[in-house]
């Protein structure tokens, strides 16, 4: 099985690195600067679950050609258009695309470009960042990936991927309910991003305010109700876990979107908060707090530009 990973950042580099460690045939489609780093140092993962450092194969847009069984798409939502163009030359025959973006609206973009028969469902839970020298730093013990077919033609490739992940420490699930898993993460990250970005603070800091707990439960209920109206009501056990993690005393939890703001980077606000807001309104759900958070992020983006 020949695998192409777009990007060798925290997500693509981590999961692609673990697949490489397991002996899979993996190539990374990266920019010139990242390719030079990988040639010099190799792909390095620093993790409490075991480190990895090894040489990897990189390709560029100029050398990319068909022949891949699976393409793992690990990019930010605001880079989706460029990523779609970039992987185009590699998509042919039986190629399956597994996107690991946050949210859901990217599925429409990829379906339009490549057809639903090629685009699988997938999501991941990983807390990792890039170090100053390009190493991937795994920040805790969570390393979960869930994927599933949206068309029967995807089953064989995803089954092989599950088997390869079985030789790694990664918790990989091939699920018939991949869209459900995507929705549950969508509810969680929208709530977390909306609150921590609007307040520019961690959940623990927010909860020390007069109305922090009430605002947290209000935002979570808006997102939960939207998911329910869309036909993907979160499983009660997952909802309980979401609530507990957000209401934990002194929690340092904050969205990666807030880290983007703190570093002056572009955000995925429209892809995540904007999409949830549009869905809530479409389903007749009042969402003033979500609208305020979205407007706050839109104002940030306008000032940034």
Which CATH number is 289's domain given? 1.10.1040.10
Q: Quick one: pLDDT at residue 87?
A: 97
Integer Cα distance of 13 and 7 in angstroms: 7
- Which residues lie closer than 8 Å to 262 by C-beta, 6 or more apart? none
Supply the range of the domain harboring residue 293: 180-304
Question: What local confidence, expressed as pLDDT, does residue 203 receive?
Answer: 96
Confidence of residue 268 (pLDDT cuts 50, 70, 90): very high
CATH code of the domain in which 44 resides:
3.40.50.720
CB of 254 within 8 A of CB of 203? yes
Q: Residue 90: which pLDDT band, with cuts at 50, 70 and 90? A: very high
Shared-domain flag, residues 112 and 251: no
Per-residue pLDDT tens digits for 93-125: 899 999 999 999 999 999 999 999 999 999 999
pLDDT averaged over the chain?
Answer: 96
Whole-angstrom CA distances from 220 to 78, 160, 187, 255 are: 25, 36, 7, 14
Interatomic CA distance for residues 232 and 184, integer angstroms: 8
The pLDDT of residue 48 is: 96
* The two three-digit tokens of residue 120, written as one number: 């699988």
pLDDT (average), residues 250-266? 93
User: In the predicted model, what is the mean pLDDT of residues 153-157?
Assistant: 94
pLDDT at 92: 93
CA distances from 239 to 221, 231, 243, 267 (A): 10, 15, 6, 25
Does one domain contain both 54 and 6? yes
Alpha helices for 43-118 (secondary structure H): 80-87, 106-114
pLDDT digits (tens, 9 = 90+) for 230-239: 999 999 999 9
| Whether 187 and 64 share a structural domain | no
Last residue of a domain, one of 176, 199, 218: 176
> CA-to-CA distance for 134 and 130, rounded, in angstroms?
6
Q: What pLDDT score does 28 carry?
A: 97
The confidence band for 292, taking pLDDT boundaries of 50, 70 and 90, is: very high
Q: Please indicate, yes or no, whether residues 232 and 219 belong to a single structural domain of this protein.
A: yes
Q: What is the rounded average pLDDT of the residues 208-227?
A: 98
CA distances from 171 to 15, 49, 130, 165 (A): 11, 12, 21, 8
Over range 62-82, report the average pLDDT: 94
CA distance 135 to 14: 10
Proportion of the chain above pLDDT 70, given as a percent: 100
CA distance 195 to 249: 16
The predicted pLDDT at position 32 comes to: 93
Confidence of residue 211 (pLDDT cuts 50, 70, 90): very high
What pLDDT sits at residue 17? 97
């Amino acid at each position: 099985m020949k695998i192409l990973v777009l990007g060798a950042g925290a997500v693509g580099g981590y999961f692609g690195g673990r697949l490489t460690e397991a002996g899979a045939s993996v190539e990374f489609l990266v920019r010139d600067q990242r390719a030079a780093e990988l040639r010099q140092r190799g792909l390095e993962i620093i993790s409490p679950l075991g480190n990895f450092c090894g040489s990897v194969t990189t390709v560029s847009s100029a050398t990319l050609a068909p022949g891949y069984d699976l393409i793992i798409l690990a990019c930010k939502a605001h880079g989706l258009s460029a990523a779609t163009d970039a992987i185009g030359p590699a998509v042919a025959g039986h190629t399956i695309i597994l996107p690991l973006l946050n949210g859901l609206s990217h599925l429409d973009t990829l379906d339009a470009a490549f057809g639903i028969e090629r685009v699988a469902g997938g999501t991941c839970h990983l807390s990792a960042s890039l170090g100053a020298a390009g190493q991937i730093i795994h920040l805790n013990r969570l390393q979960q990936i869930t994927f599933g077919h949206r068309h029967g033609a995807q089953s064989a490739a995803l089954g092989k991927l599950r088997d390869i992940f079985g030789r790694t420490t990664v918790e990989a699930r091939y699920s018939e309910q991949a869209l459900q898993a995507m929705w549950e993460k969508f509810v969680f990250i929208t709530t977390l991003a909306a609150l921590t970005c609007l307040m520019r603070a961690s959940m623990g800091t927010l909860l020390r305010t007069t109305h922090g707990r009430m605002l947290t439960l209000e935002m979570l209920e808006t997102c939960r109700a939207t998911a329910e109206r869309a036909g993907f009501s979160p499983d009660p056990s997952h909802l309980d876990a979401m609530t507990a993690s957000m209401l934990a005393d002194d929690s340092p939890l904050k969205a990666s979107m807030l880290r983007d703001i703190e570093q002056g980077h572009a955000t995925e606000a429209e892809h995540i908060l904007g999409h949830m807001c549009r869905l809530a309104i479409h389903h007749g759900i009042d969402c003033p707090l979500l609208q305020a958070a979205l407007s706050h992020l839109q104002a940030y983006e306008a000032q940034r530009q």
